[in-house]
Amino acid sequence: MAGFGHWKEQRLARADGSRKGSVDELIAGIVELLNGQDGFCTTSSCSGRLLLVQALSRDSSGFEVQKQNCSWLMVTHQACATEDVVTALQEATDDAVFKFEPFILHVQCRELKDAQLLHSVAIGSGFRNSGITVSTKGKIMMAVRSTHCLEVPLSQRGKLMVTEDYINFLVQIANRKMEENKKRIDRFYSCLQLALKTEDCLSNSSLERKPKTRPVDVYRRKRKRNKKGDCISPEKNKGELETTNDPETNLDFFTELS
Amino acid sequence: MAGFGHWKEQRLARADGSRKGSVDELIAGIVELLNGQDGFCTTSSCSGRLLLVQALSRDSSGFEVQKQNCSWLMVTHQACATEDVVTALQEATDDAVFKFEPFILHVQCRELKDAQLLHSVAIGSGFRNSGITVSTKGKIMMAVRSTHCLEVPLSQRGKLMVTEDYINFLVQIANRKMEENKKRIDRFYSCLQLALKTEDCLSNSSLERKPKTRPVDVYRRKRKRNKKGDCISPEKNKGELETTNDPETNLDFFTELS
């Protein structure tokens, strides 16, 4: 895409526009690795978080309005404790919802083949809701996304609807999801390094390359052979949307299109 | 893509491979409309559902194993009643989780422009996790997906962790999400009809077309002008991942790449 390099330079020179003001530590390596490559420029990211949000659900007349306004009662990018949630819930005056949101990353790509490589890495690492967008003007974005989530209503109009025992149970589950999320991030980072290294080797190789050998194909063959280690081969397409053996396999056929 | 028509013919002649064995009634119109177009072939779909799943979390020695095996205690593609969930929970012997899963649709597309049109319709209808996949062999898939969800653990090793009051509260929320999901499906259907009609008009027009006028651009301009009616203009990019005013706007910038 013409002008990608120039756009990227300007983009990376801008101040971080997120509420936090900086890239999450857990994914700083990934962001740095991608931005060091000609073909990629990250545009937004979050390593994953646990949050308690409160949505304003009714207006003063008592009628339900669209939930356009939320406030955050708690947010953390690490494991949390039951007391954190209990304390935050004491501030709730409306409908409070506890959420786990996994790693998400948006990357603008120079060419479609860059997006395809990144997409392959994302799917192979367990981020099975990842997808590419190509705008009509040729801008190519890859979003790394997961189906992994929790969304649990806890209070109604400020009234707590669960016990502290339940909150403790929920927090344990949420912390396990954060741990699994971290493992997937580590897997993503390793797979990304392997994929980029493979691409480099092919680009630099002085041997004659088969016309249809693309870096992402070589990377995929290497990944499938690598039974142990960091990169996981996607499971075979079961052909059904409705299997819940592993919610992430619902979209497996995406990975097996070739 | 060469051979797309032939592949599509074979695909549509196959028996429905889903557990249910047929397309959900709520989305039969969408599926029929898409399959009637040269550029699309649906491969899997679900109109949205409420389910209670049970994951086997521990082996006989008491050690936690990977949650590879789930069983369904309840599933419905319509609103459910509190008693349905309570009754199903009585069968739980392990960790039961209540889920709302929104509309999902996978469509293989003949060309990238077809995927882009469908992607634009999906994003404009509120399905903001939608994305394109392009395999190295040129297969193009568009997945219509939403961030809209519920995932609520209810029992631990068969022991119910919430009250019936809570289940009633949860069911009301879930049914509202199903209702919102249905509205988005209707919006998607209307937007899709408009987009395809626009494309048809442009294809059939005998007037000289501006070189860069593409059906998806015209559709987008029409959609933005249409302040009332079925298609909603995407909100402007706020530039932040961390706004939760409307979780669906987190990915708005995808729509405003052009």
Of B144, B173, B149, whose CA–CA distance to B85 is shortest?
B173
How far apart are the C-alpha atoms of B172 and A185, rounded to whole Å?
35
Of B50, B51, B42, whose CA–CA distance to B108 is shortest?
B42
Contact B242 A18 (CB under 8 A): yes
Flag whether residue B229 sits within 8 Å of chain A, measured between CB atoms: no
Instruction: Report the predicted TM-score, pTM, of the whole model to 2 decimal places.
Output: 0.79
Of A117, B117, A139, whose CA–CA distance to A130 is shortest?
A117
CB contact residues (below 8 A), chain B span 150-189, against chain A: 150-153, 156, 161-162, 165-166, 169-170, 173
Q: How far is B257 from chain A (nearest CA, A)?
A: 6
With beta carbons less than 8 A apart as the criterion, state whether B26 and B79 touch.
no
Q: Give the nearest partner residue to B161 out of A17, A131, A169, using CB atoms.
A: A169
Q: pLDDT value at position A229?
A: 41
Q: pLDDT value at position A32?
A: 95
3-state secondary structure of A176: helix
- Output phi, psi for A174, to 5 deg: -60, -40
The model's confidence at residue A246, banded by pLDDT at 50, 70 and 90, is: very low
| Residues 6 or more apart whose Cβ sits within 8 Å of residue B185 | B26, B27, B30, B47, B48, B103
3-state secondary structure of B134: strand
Q: Chain A: residue nearest B131 by CA?
A: A131
| Residues 6 or more apart whose Cβ sits within 8 Å of residue B61 | none
With beta carbons less than 8 A apart as the criterion, state whether A146 and A184 touch.
yes
**Is the pLDDT reported for residue B2 higher than 80?**
no
Flag whether residue B68 sits within 8 Å of chain A, measured between CB atoms: yes
| Residues 6 or more apart whose Cβ sits within 8 Å of residue A63 | none
ipTM for the predicted complex: 0.77
Give the Cα-Cα-Cα angle B232, B235, B241 (nearest 5 degrees): 135
**Is the pLDDT reported for residue B87 higher than 60?**
yes
Q: pLDDT value at position B6?
A: 87
With beta carbons less than 8 A apart as the criterion, state whether A109 and B111 touch.
no
Q: Chain B: residue nearest A55 by CA?
A: B245
**Is the pLDDT reported for residue A67 higher than 60?**
no
Distance between alpha carbon A73 and the CA centroid of its chain, in Å?
23
How far apart are the C-alpha atoms of A148 and B191, rounded to whole Å?
29
Q: Give the nearest partner residue to A53 out of B18, B68, B244, using CB atoms.
A: B244
Q: pLDDT value at position A58?
A: 55
pLDDT digits (tens, 9 = 90+) for A178-229: 999 999 999 999 999 999 998 887 777 755 544 445 556 666 666 655 544 4
- Output phi, psi for A11, to 5 deg: -60, -45
Quick one: which H or E segment has residue B203? helix B164-204
Contact A173 B153 (CB under 8 A): yes
Over residues B32-59, mean pLDDT: 90
> How does DSSP classify residue A238?
-
How far apart are the C-alpha atoms of B111 and B168, rounded to whole Å?
47
Contact A46 B242 (CB under 8 A): yes
Flag whether residue A202 sits within 8 Å of chain B, measured between CB atoms: no
The amino acid sitting at A106 is H
Residue ranges with strand state E in A23-120:
40-46, 49-55, 70-76, 95-101, 104-109
What are the percentages of helix, strand and coil residues in chain B, rounded to 5?
A: 40, 20, 40
pLDDT digits (tens, 9 = 90+) for B215-224: 566 666 666 5
Residue ranges with strand state E in chain B:
40-46, 49-55, 70-76, 95-101, 104-109, 131-134, 140-144, 150-156, 159-160
Q: Chain A: residue nearest B117 by CA?
A: A136
How far apart are the C-alpha atoms of A115 and A105, rounded to whole Å?
13
**Is the pLDDT reported for residue B252 higher than 90?**
no
Of A56, A106, A98, A95, whose CA–CA distance to A75 is shortest?
A98
Q: Which residues pair with B144 in a beta bridge?
A: B105
Contact B173 A153 (CB under 8 A): yes
Residue A29 to residues A16, A110, B224, Cα–Cα distance (Å): 16, 20, 40
How far apart are the C-alpha atoms of A130 and A104, rounded to whole Å?
9
Strand order across the beta sheet in which A140-144 lies: A40-46, A104-109, A140-144, A131-134, B131-134, B140-144, B104-109, B40-46
Q: pLDDT value at position A16?
A: 76
**Is the pLDDT reported for residue A258 higher than 60?**
no
How far apart are the C-alpha atoms of B114 and B196, rounded to whole Å?
10
Cα torsion A189, A190, A192, A194 to 10°: value is: 160
**Is the pLDDT reported for residue B242 higher than 90?**
no
Over residues B79-97, mean pLDDT: 96
Give the Cβ contact number of residue B221 at 10 Å. 12
Chain B partners within 8 Å of A248 (Cβ): none
Q: How far is A36 from chain B (nearest CA, A)?
A: 22
With beta carbons less than 8 A apart as the criterion, state whether B182 and B26 touch.
yes
Q: Which residues pair with A1 in a beta bridge?
A: none
How far apart are the C-alpha atoms of B207 and A195, rounded to whole Å?
48
3-state secondary structure of B96: strand
Flag whether residue A45 sits within 8 Å of chain B, measured between CB atoms: yes
Contact B245 A129 (CB under 8 A): no
What are the percentages of helix, strand and coil residues in chain A, rounded to 5?
A: 40, 20, 40
Give the Cβ contact number of residue B252 at 10 Å. 18
Chain A partners within 8 Å of B239 (Cβ): 17
Q: pLDDT value at position B57?
A: 60
- Among residues of chain B, what percentage have pLDDT more than 70? 74
